[in-house]
Every structure is written in structure tokens, then in C-alpha cells.
Amino acid sequence: MEKKAKKARSAPPQSRQMDWIDQLPEEILGNILSRMAMKEATRTSILSRRWRNLWKVYGSHLDFDASETMRLMFDGVKERHIEAPKYRDWVNQVLDSHEGSSLERLRIAFDLGGSYIYATAVDKWIDFAIVKRVQRLEVDLTAAAGCYTCSDSVYTFPSWLLDLPSDFPSFDRLTVLCLKSVSITEEDLAYFLSTCPFLEQLTVENSSSLQNFRVSGQSLKLKHLEIGYCQKLQNVEVSAASLVSFKYAGPRINICLIEVPELALVSFSNQYCEKFIINSPSSLYLSRLEKLELDLRFTGSARCVGFPSNFPKFSNLKHLELKFVAVADESALFFSSIIGASPGLITLTLKYDIDWATRHQTLSNPEVFRNQGMLDVCEKEWEEQARRYSHKCLNVIEFVGWAGIKTDVQLANYLLETAISLEKIIVDCRIPRYTRTSWNEELCPMPGNREAALLSAKELQRKLPPRAQLIIV
């Protein structure tokens, strides 16, 4: 007994801690494993003989993340025809080893290419999700280059899996469904909405067959709906009492938001964003919005969109996020009307990229240069319109993409003069760039003179109100 105690005292602290954990009941160990990410859970198999197979029973988060491989494929370092079979075999090996009766999350995220040779494997993975009564199912087959280069979905959702006999397992526990580059029909989506009583989040992106999408039902618990780049989509009709956020990216279609009393966040991108602005929509849901995101970066220079001067009131809006392309050394006050239509605005986020090429063409091309006079008139109108507004509640202003030229300096001066309650201004000299999907982005180093941009940002300190804070990134 004394020898065992002496041995325990002489053992390294980490080893003693592992022994203590190893003695816990299996139910507690299973609870620990169920909260771990998949890679972390599988690594525990080397700890001891007892841990070797525990992850197979209790691992409930199967996230097959291969983002690093995808990045290398995008850079041309690795090739898809070599990496895709490896990814398929990896998923198959883990799923075949899993012995648990249920699953909280299954995430598939890889570019399997445009061929259908992997369709059988994906069918098997979705069937596995049904058998395990998965709660979160995410199938993202977006190309490594990004969804904008895709014209067709690379995989068709197997409708036959939804027609199984009633005594078979189903998606009755599903809370999150995310399908990207997966072709799915209106009838299949209706099935999920009608038979998944706990479904709260639905994302459909780059579905080549979807033409109409209707969300309706008194018992729906759907809170978050995202639809992106479904090229054949024509109509979207949403009536969901619990809906909190709605995001749409893609061409101009008919979108009708009817009974959405809890809707607080709306995000529009691509061509539809331009339609939303030009048509000056007047709808009841707009008056209740708390956050609005408008992404104009795919419409060219945002100055060409034509923000109306009589934008409808956003009486409850607290956070406005605008993403756009601004022409170098030209005014960016074209959207002052939408800021002015938000009297209760607290946070304003501006994410933009500078278009240097258009400015160069304007100066070098005589025909374009003659039109510069028209632009000068527009800029004067924008400035006059901007002077009409006073932003009494605006506390936080964030610039992402700051270059330190006329475009952003003029905009900053205008906001500093009109935001009488300003508490913080954040200046980020990095540029927002999309990652693989339409909703995710990362900040990249700015090409050009970063030191000059930082120096101009520091100059704002002299113009700040006494208690306002300047943060430079």
C-alpha cells in the first residue's frame, strides 16, 4: 500500500490527473466526450485501453472539416481528384466505426467535384444521419473556388430517403439543416418544414432545381432562414411567426415577407440588394427591424445604384451594415439617405473596397472624362442631402477597408460632424473578402500603402468629441 502511495506521489502531475479522470464512471466520461469536437474525441482513444472505443459510442459531433485542404486546392497546391477519394474514405471510416445511438451534429464540407461518382457515398452519409436521428445536418459541397463559380449543384438530395415507412427513423429531432451545392426540390423543403417540429435554422445555397420556395405554418419554430444563389429561383414567400433573421443573396426575384412579427435582422446581397434599394420598399416588417445588412459589392460601384432621397423610415433600426465598392477619391455620400432614414441608429458599419481602376479610366479616357461634370453635380447633390440629417443616437462607427484617401476621409468628416453622441470610431485598414460561401468573410491585408492609411486614421483623433474613443486596426 505504501509502495502504491509512494508511486502515486512520484508520478508526474499530468499522469495523476489522467488516472483520476480514468476512474470516473463511464456515463460521466461519455458526457465529456459528447461535448468534444470530433478530432478531439478521436484523439482520446490513445489515452488508455478504456478510452480506446469510448468515442465511438459517445462522440456526437462529427464535423468533417477539411478547410486547410480546400485552401491548398484553391491555391493549386493540391488536386481535387486526389483529395476527394481521401475525404470520402475518411468519412466512411469514421461513420462505420460510430456505435452511438444518436448524433447531435453531422457536418460534411468538401469539394467533391461536378461528377456524380460520389453520390452514392453522400446518400449513405445522409442515411446515416437519419438512422442516428441527427439534430444538426450540414452538407456543404461548395467548390474550393467558391459558390459564385458554380452553375449547377453537384449533388441531388435523395428524395427517396424521405419516403421511408413510418416505423423507420426520421429527421424528427432536426434543429438545423444546411444544404449548399445540393439540388433540392420545393416538395422536399416542404417535407422538412412540415415534419421537423424542432427545425429552427434552414440554409439553402446554390440549389439548381429550386424555383419556388414557400415557408408557412402556424406550428413552425423556424428562427433563421438563409437562401443564396439559387439561379432558377423566382419566388420566395415567408410566413413564420418565430422568424428572427432572413438572409437572401442572388438575382432579383419576388420576395414576400408576410407574417414575421419577430423579424429583427434582414440581409440582402447581389442583384436583389440593388432592387431593394431602388424600389424603396415600404413594408410593415421594415419598421420593426433592428439590424439591416446590404451588400452592394457585386453591383459594381455603389454610386451607380441610386439611393432614393425618400427612403422609408427604419424607426427601430439599431445597426446598419453597408458593403460596397467606392471609386478612389470620389464622394461616398451617396447612401446618406438610408442612414438618415434610421433615426434610432446606434451602430454603423461600413465595409468597402476601393476601385482604383475606374478612377484611372476617368482621368485617361476623354469620353469618360466629359461625363465627370455630371458626376460632380451628383456629388454636390449628395453633399446637400447629407447636410439634412443629424444622427443623434449614433454611438459607434466602424470603417473596414480604410485607405486614407478622399473617399473615406470625407465620409468620416461628415459622420464626425453629424454624430453628436459618438462614443467610439473603429478604423480597420484591412479589406473584407469572401471565403468559400456567401455568408462568410475574412479580413485581408490591404494592397498599397498601409502606413499612409494608418497615418490618416490617426489624424481623426483631433476631430473626435472629448469622450469619444479611436481604435485603429
Residues 31-66 have pLDDT tens digits of 555 555 555 655 555 455 555 555 444 457 788 888
Q: 364 and 312 share a domain?
A: yes
Q: What's the whole-number mean pLDDT along residues 115-130?
A: 89
What pLDDT score does 465 carry? Answer: 86
- CA 428, CA 434: separation in Å to the nearest integer? 16
What pLDDT score does 296 carry? Answer: 84
Q: Give the residue from 263, 288, 311 where a domain finishes.
A: 263
Q: 385 and 413 share a domain?
A: yes
Q: 418 and 366 share a domain?
A: yes
Q: Give the residue from 32, 59, 86 where a domain finishes.
A: 59
| 6 lies in some domain | no
Q: 147 and 225 share a domain?
A: yes
Domains of the chain: total: 3
Q: 256 and 354 share a domain?
A: no
What pLDDT score does 37 carry? Answer: 57
Coil, helix or strand for 292? strand
| 202 lies in some domain | yes
| 393 lies in some domain | yes
Residue 419: name the closest of 463, 355, 353 by CA: 463
| 356 lies in some domain | yes
Q: Which residues contact 27 (CB under 8 A, 6 or more apart)?
A: none
126 close to 161: Cβ distance less than 8 angstroms: yes
What pLDDT score does 411 carry? Answer: 87
| 12 lies in some domain | no
Q: In the structure, what pLDDT confidence band is assigned to residue 16 with cuts at 50, 70 and 90?
A: very low
Among 51-65, 338-352, 367-381, 423-437, top mean pLDDT goes to: 338-352
Q: 182 and 318 share a domain?
A: no
Q: Which residue has the cell 451617396?
A: 334
Q: 281 and 256 share a domain?
A: no
Question: What CATH number did the domain enclosing 25 receive?
Answer: 1.20.1280
258 close to 238: Cβ distance less than 8 angstroms: yes
With DSSP H G I counted as helix, E B as strand and the rest as coil, what are the percentages for the chain, rounded to 5? Answer: 40, 20, 40
**For 273-283, what is each residue's pLDDT tens digit?**
878 887 766 56
| 64 lies in some domain | no
Q: What's the whole-number mean pLDDT along residues 15-39?
A: 53
Q: Which three cell numbers stand for residue 419?
A: 454624430
Q: 245 and 291 share a domain?
A: no
| 1 lies in some domain | no
25 close to 48: Cβ distance less than 8 angstroms: no
Strands 155-156 and 105-109 turn out to be: unpaired
Q: 325 and 406 share a domain?
A: yes
Q: 54 and 147 share a domain?
A: no
Q: 434 and 415 share a domain?
A: yes
Domain enclosing residue 320, as ranges? 276-473
Amino acid symbol at 13 = P
Question: What CATH number did the domain enclosing 89 receive?
Answer: 3.80.10
Q: Which residues contact 428 (CB under 8 A, 6 or more apart)?
A: 398, 399, 400, 401, 402, 443, 473
- For CA atoms 176, 182, 186, 187, the dihedral sign is negative
| 65 lies in some domain | no
pTM: 0.83
**For 241-300, what is each residue's pLDDT tens digit?**
999 999 999 888 999 998 899 999 999 988 888 788 877 665 667 778 999 999 887 765
Q: Give the residue from 240, 263, 286 where a domain finishes.
A: 263
Q: 293 and 348 share a domain?
A: yes
Q: Phi first, then psi: what are they for 387, rounded to 5°?
A: -70, -15
